[in-house]
A and B are shown apart, each in its own frame.
Chain A
Amino acid sequence: MSNTVSARLYLIIGAWLAGLMLLSVVLTERHVAGKVIVQIVVGLSTIKAFLVARYYMHLKSDQRILLVIAVVPFILIALAFGVVASSFFIRL
């Protein structure tokens, strides 16, 4: 990938990040989405984080071991949440 293309891609990703952030603000300020607003805003934030990690942190093109390192904390977090959530069902 040439550097010119890279710079253009970085600017496009930056515009998407800003656009998605402004969409979150508009949706919450105008109460457009009602009760599902939390899921929508957190979902938009997750998309933004994915874009940053994939394109700006180069997880798309770097060695797979780095992707594994990036994903492992989220697996551990999911396990921790699983344990916490299970306490709702296993009350002795």
Chain B
Amino acid sequence: MSSLAAPAGVLTTSSGVPNGKLGMWLFLASEVMFFTALISVYVILRMGHPAWPGPEGHLNVVMGTINTIVLIGSSVTIVLALAASEQGRLSSARGWLLLTALLGAVFLAIKAFEYHAKLTHHILPSTNVFWSSYYTLTGFHALHVIGGIGFNLYVASRMQVRVWELFKQRLELAGLYWHFVDIVWIFLFPLLYLL
């Protein structure tokens, strides 16, 4: 589906990879290091505490499962937006992209509901090391989701026939970023909710 040749009007590096795409992959590589550091700390702390997560109880698996399905669904919709864009169906691509942003907002709304439930029970980051890790990991992930929604809405706002040729590579970049956010959650969900 994705061709090796750069679209017209897109500057490429000597490797043949468009500048923006190479930059996005390098950025994502740094993000892998960032989240791996956080997850590694969580795993080390987890291994050192036999009673985990503690007397405050576990997270709501049903909520986490629904949120995971929402995020997987948003990964499908954004890749369908890219497919529609490459087929020249701009209104369809815009629809899929806006649906992606909406699913991202649903994910955040469910996460906010979970946070609210914990906070009203006075379960704070300072409660114990599990909750400190939970708020840190999910908080940073949520910030990335917010950034992704903003990126998606920005690209959607540029989906006009007369300028799309110049902007369409940004849809692929938005997709790469969004899939990365999805991959991070693919690991966070079982670590925090299931194990």
Contacts and interface: CB of A to CB of B under 8 A. Distances in A.
Nearest to B46: A38
Interface in A42-92: 42, 44-45, 48-49, 52-53, 56-58, 61-63, 65-66, 69-70, 72-74, 76-77, 81
Contacts of A61: 1-4
Interface residues of A, number: 42
B75 interface: yes
B65 A6 contact: no
B65 A49 contact: no
B53 to A, nearest CB: 14
A46 to B, nearest CB: 8
Nearest to A17: B72
A39 B132 CA distance: 25
B36 A21 contact: no
Main DSSP-derived SS at the B contact region: helix
Nearest to A57: B179
Given A24-B190, A29-B61, A62-B2, A52 B182 contact: yes
Nearest to B85: A3
Given A37-B195, A58-B1, A72 B29 contact: yes
Contacts of B166: none
B187 to A, nearest CB: 5
B194 A53 contact: no
A70 B32 CA distance: 9
What band does the interface of chain B fall in when counting residues whose beta carbon is under 8 Å from A?
35 or more
A1 interface: yes
Interface string B75-99: 1100110011011000000000000
A21 B76 contact: no
Interface in B156-195: 175-176, 179-180, 182-183, 186-187, 189-190, 194-195
A21 B189 contact: yes
7 contacts: A7-B80, A10-B80, A25-B194, A42-B187, A48-B183, A52-B186, A72-B29
Given A45-B186, A56-B75, A73-B32, 17 more contacts: A1-B1, A10-B76, A10-B80, A17-B186, A21-B69, A21-B189, A28-B190, A29-B194, A49-B183, A52-B182, A58-B1, A65-B22, A66-B21, A69-B26, A70-B28, A73-B36, A77-B33
Interface of B: 1-4, 15-17, 21-22, 25-26, 28-30, 32-33, 36, 40, 61, 65, 68-69, 72-73, 75-76, 79-80, 83-84, 86-87, 175-176, 179-180, 182-183, 186-187, 189-190, 194-195
